[in-house]
Protein backbone atom coordinates (compact mmCIF):
# COMPACT_ATOMS: atom_id res chain seq x y z
CA UNK A 1 0.00 0.00 0.00
CA UNK A 2 2.00 3.03 -1.23
CA UNK A 3 1.83 6.17 0.89
CA UNK A 4 3.22 9.27 -0.82
CA UNK A 5 3.86 12.58 0.93
CA UNK A 6 4.41 15.65 -1.21
CA UNK A 7 5.62 18.95 0.25
CA UNK A 8 4.76 21.99 -1.87
CA UNK A 9 4.56 25.74 -1.48
CA UNK A 10 1.14 27.23 -0.90
CA UNK A 11 -0.70 28.77 -3.80
CA UNK A 12 -2.12 26.01 -5.99
CA UNK A 13 -5.84 26.16 -6.64
CA UNK A 14 -8.06 23.36 -5.40
CA UNK A 15 -8.43 22.11 -8.97
CA UNK A 16 -4.65 22.05 -9.48
CA UNK A 17 -4.07 20.25 -6.16
CA UNK A 18 -6.67 17.63 -7.12
CA UNK A 19 -5.00 17.16 -10.51
CA UNK A 20 -1.59 16.84 -8.86
CA UNK A 21 -2.95 14.08 -6.61
CA UNK A 22 -4.50 12.30 -9.61
CA UNK A 23 -1.20 12.56 -11.49
CA UNK A 24 0.77 11.15 -8.54
CA UNK A 25 -1.65 8.24 -8.27
CA UNK A 26 -1.39 7.56 -12.02
CA UNK A 27 2.41 7.70 -12.07
CA UNK A 28 2.62 5.41 -9.06
CA UNK A 29 0.21 2.96 -10.67
CA UNK A 30 2.15 3.05 -13.96
CA UNK A 31 5.52 2.68 -12.21
CA UNK A 32 4.87 -0.13 -9.72
CA UNK A 33 1.49 -1.47 -10.72
CA UNK A 34 -0.31 -0.75 -7.46
CA UNK A 35 -4.08 -0.66 -7.60
CA UNK A 36 -5.06 3.04 -7.46
CA UNK A 37 -7.53 2.15 -4.69
CA UNK A 38 -4.65 1.43 -2.31
CA UNK A 39 -2.41 4.40 -3.23
CA UNK A 40 -2.47 7.09 -0.55
CA UNK A 41 -1.30 10.66 -1.19
CA UNK A 42 -1.01 13.55 1.24
CA UNK A 43 -0.04 17.08 0.25
CA UNK A 44 1.65 19.33 2.78
CA UNK A 45 1.48 23.00 1.83
CA UNK A 46 4.03 25.42 3.26
CA UNK A 47 4.47 29.18 3.01
CA UNK A 48 7.31 29.97 0.57
CA UNK A 49 9.30 31.65 3.37
CA UNK A 50 9.46 28.28 5.19
CA UNK A 51 11.17 26.47 2.31
CA UNK A 52 14.78 26.45 1.17
CA UNK A 53 15.52 24.87 -2.21
CA UNK A 54 19.11 24.35 -3.37
CA UNK A 55 20.24 26.41 -0.36
CA UNK A 56 18.28 29.43 -1.59
CA UNK A 57 16.24 31.27 1.03
CA UNK A 58 13.37 33.40 -0.26
CA UNK A 59 14.92 33.15 -3.72
CA UNK A 60 18.32 34.45 -2.63
CA UNK A 61 21.57 32.53 -2.51
CA UNK A 62 22.66 31.30 0.89
CA UNK A 63 24.97 33.71 2.70
CA UNK A 64 26.95 32.39 5.65
CA UNK A 65 26.32 34.61 8.64
CA UNK A 66 29.48 35.87 10.25
CA UNK A 67 29.76 36.56 13.95
CA UNK A 68 31.93 38.98 15.81
pLDDT score, position 56: 83
25 domain-assigned: yes
Query: Can you tell me the mean pLDDT for 29-58?
Result: 92
59 domain-assigned: no
Residue range(s) defining the domain that contains residue 21: 16-52
38 domain-assigned: yes
Q: Provide the mean pLDDT of the chain.
A: 91
How many structural domains compose the chain?
1
pTM: 0.78
- Say which CATH number the domain at 38 has: 3.30.429.10
- Answer whether residue 39 shows pLDDT above 70: yes
Q: What is the 3-state secondary structure (H, E, C) of the chain?
A: CCEEEEEEECCCCHHHHHHHHHHHHHHHHHHHCCCHHHCEEEEEEECHHHCEECCEECCECCCCCCCC
62 domain-assigned: no
Amino acid sequence: MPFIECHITQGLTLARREQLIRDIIQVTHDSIGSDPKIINVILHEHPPANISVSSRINGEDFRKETTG
